[in-house]
Amino acid sequence: MKKNAEITGLADGASVDSRDWRRNTTTGIKITCTAATSIKLEDLTPLQGDLKELTHRNFEKLKKSILKHGLSFPFFVWRHEGRNFVLDGHQRDRVLRKMLEQGYEVPPLPCALIEAWDRQQAAEKILLISSQFGKITEQSLDEFLSENELDINNLLDELELPALDMRYFGSGEFEPTDENDQGRLDKKNPVTCPQCGHEFTR
C-alpha cells in the first residue's frame, strides 16, 4: 500500500513530465525545493561508491527527515555520455532506493547540473563537496538554536552531528559506564608536589 502525502515545488525545467506527480497524492515523498531539472531515481548513477558509510541508525534518521520535510535540497549531478552521475546526494539516493522497495513512490528528483571535464574532475568535486571548512561548536549551535527559536530535542531524530557532544544540550545518547570505567572521584586530577613528589588530588 502506498503512503499518502502532497507533492510540491517540482522544478519548472523538469526533464520528465512532472505534472502527473503534482496531482498524484499516493506518494509519501514530497519535493520542497526548485532546481534546474528533475531526473527519475532510476536514471541516476551514484559515483561515490563506498566513500561514506551509512549506518542503520543514520538511515532511519534520514528516512524520517525525508518523510517530514520532503526533499529540500537538490542532488548535484554530472551529465556525461548520456548518464547522470550523482556527485552529491548519495545517502539520499540509498535511502530513496530502499524506500522504493518498501512501497513508497519516488517522484522525479530535483537536480542541479555540475560541470566537470572528466570522471577524475567529477571525483575531485565529490571530495570538495564533502569537505567541511566551517566548524559547528556546542556554543555556536546553542546560539543558532536560540536565535531561531529551535528546540534541539525536536531535531535529534533527524540530525547527525558527530563532532558535537549533544549532552551539552541536556540530552543526547550515551552509554552509562560502570565503576571501573568511571574511576574514583578521589583519584581525579592528581597534582604532584615538585619538591617532595607527593601526589594530591584536587
Whether 14 contacts 38, CB under 8 Å:
yes
110-137, pLDDT tens digit by residue?
Answer: 999 999 999 999 999 999 998 878 888 8
Distance CA(164)–CA(24), nearest Å, equals: 40
- Is the pLDDT at 5 greater than 90? The verdict is no
- Is the pLDDT at 147 greater than 60? The verdict is yes
Which of 80, 84, 89, 87 lies closest to 44 in space, CA to CA?
84
Which residue type does 52 have? K
Q: What is the pTM of this model?
A: 0.66
